[in-house]
Amino acid sequence: MPGHPLHTLIGANHRRVLSVRMRLLEEYALRLLELFRPYESVLTSRAPLQKKTAVKVESEIAWLQVKIRGMKEELGLERSHRNSKREAAALVATMMTYVEELHPRYLKGYGSIPEPVGRYLKECLQEFSETLENLNSALKEDS
């Protein structure tokens, strides 16, 4: 006599927590693959992991994805549907907070800021704020 399908044996709470943890496992595995590519930006540089390791790592991550896909099907795990507009708005809001925290009045705890540097920072922060407002407007127009 065959057993019950596994998805019928777990409740919604277990299904939800398993879904979240499997989703994070998958996201971290994909981020791991990114480490095999060099990264260069204005303020960040990252050398890639060695190419000779990439083949083995890619193979192991592919296996993880196959296993995660199987668990999704067997246990009826929930798929996340992300809201890009909400994520974009949250990123811009966080960026605005970071810009505000760069204001000279908030940096005094690290020592005094010379007046020319303070003026320069205020000008840059004003430009950043305007750009972020433009980003916000562009995102709202997409609605």
Using one digit for the tens of pLDDT, what is the confidence trace for 1-48?
A: 467 898 888 999 999 999 999 999 999 999 999 999 999 999 999 999
- Who contacts 132 (Cβ-Cβ below 8 Å, separation ≥6)? 92, 95, 96, 99
What pLDDT was estimated at residue 2? 62
CA within 13 Å, CB half, 34: 9
Average pLDDT over residues 64-72: 96
Contacts of 6 (CB under 8 A, 6+ apart): 74, 75
Would you say the pTM of this structure is higher than 0.85? Answer: no
Report the pLDDT value the prediction gives residue 118, as an integer from 0 to 100. Answer: 95
Q: For strand 39-40 and strand 45-46, is the pairing parallel, antiparallel, or unpaired? A: antiparallel
Give the distance from CA 25 to its chain's centroid: 13
Q: Describe the crossing of helices 12-34 and 51-75 by its angle, rounded to 10 degrees.
A: 160
Give CA–CA dist 22/8, Å, rounded. 19
Instruction: Provide, rounded to the nearest whole percent, the portion of the chain with pLDDT above 70.
Output: 98
Instruction: Please report the pLDDT score of residue 143 as a whole number.
Output: 63
DSSP 8: G
Going through 39-99 in order, the beta strands assigned E by DSSP cover 39-40, 45-46
